[in-house]
Amino acid sequence: MYTAAGVKKEYAPSAYSRRLFHTMQQQNFRGVPVKRPLRLLFLPLCCCLLYLLAFPAQALAGARDGLLLWYRSVLPVLLPFMLVSGILMKLGLPGRLLDLLHGPLHLLFGCSRYGAFAVLTGFLCGFPMGAKVTSDLYRQGKISRGEAKFLYGFVNNLSPAFILSYLAADQMRTPRLKGLFLCNILGAAALYGVITSIGFRRSRKGNATGCAASEPAAASGVSRMSSIFPVIDGCINDSVLNVVRLGVYIMAFSMLSRAVAGLIDVSDPQLLFAAACIEVTNGVHLLSASALPFAQKYVLVCACAAFGGLSALAQTVSIAGMDREMLSGYIKSRATIALLAACCSLGSVLCVLVFRR
């Protein structure tokens, strides 16, 4: 670059350019063209457009099912939990509320006080609240990166209400087995957490800094009444945005699940399970309504529910903002938990057959 006098002037990058380059490095875009992810989406988006044009009635039914599922089940359950948990974390209250529960949860999983809050939320509230709370705690500095990566692996699960009411009673029509469904699905996630906590405890001992030093700063909370309302407004905006985003994902994967279900052979257990793993609600219905033997349906439903489906995976990635390392670990953990749930359910079936003899 030259000035008006013809003197060569060295180019100095602006502050915005430096921040943008630093952000791209943090997000692992080093050496990867920015437009490449958009190019990868071109073919799937064209297929979706052709599907909408060729099968409008089927696409409309899938979109309606997804939006009704979001409106009836996701919105009234997740929105209050997102709002309350966000306000609690902003005000620094979960640490005080979990003093009594931190002991047993720390004994099982080796988590901190705020990590215990993520464990309780993930096992009680369902997808994707466990990942949402873990992500918020990590961003606020209340848990370390190592603990966040550890918690992502097992705290993001289906809610007990979904398992007991929709899965066991409504779809499988076996309310007497609801305890077994609950133990197989959530028990597999808890077992995975206990097993992986061994490595987490060792890494935490090696890292003397931990995350305990950040807890007193988080407990300062909000000192003035006038500053509480901006916090509440921010939590409302964040909660509504996240819930609407989840509705879009649920609608899209519901349409995809209906399209795939119309193309596969439902008598093939492998294809049926693959289609069921697209979206867990439609997947449970697809497996339970199939002509497979009950024992086979029982094992496949437990594995599908423990995995959570591709829809829940996309929701989790979107709402938690995982990087590549955490995403890779999360996918491996869900696959392992699904395998554990299948083994546990298969073991319960074998036990029933043995005791019947």
pLDDT surpasses 60 at 12: no
Task: Name the least confident of 9-23, 140-154, 161-175, 281-295.
Answer: 9-23
Residue 144 is predicted with a pLDDT of 92
Q: What is the DSSP string of 179-196?
A: HHHHHHHHHHHHHHHHHH
Out of 34-48, 113-127, 160-174, least confident range:
34-48
Report whether 69 contacts 127 (CB < 8 A).
no
Average pLDDT of span 304-309: 93
What is the average pLDDT score of the chain? 80
- Cα separation, 122 vs 105, in Å, equals 13
* pLDDT the model gives residue 232: 83
Cα–Cα distance for residue pair 148/50, rounded to 1 Å: 40
pLDDT of 31 over the 60 cut: no
Choice between 12 and 253, residue whose per-residue pLDDT is larger: 253
**How many CB atoms neighbour CB 146 within 10 A?**
16
Q: Is residue 130 a contact partner of residue 153, using CB atoms and an 8 Å limit? A: no
Q: Which tokens in the block code for residue 223?
A: 């000192």
Greatest mean pLDDT among 126-130, 223-227, 308-312, 319-323 lies in 308-312
Domain range summary for the chain, segments of one domain joined by +? 58-356
Q: Which residue has the higher pLDDT, 73 or 258?
A: 258
pLDDT at 148 over 80: yes
- To the nearest 10 degrees (0 to 180), the angle between helices 145-152 and 324-356 is 40
- Give dist(CA 285, CA 275) in Å, integer: 11
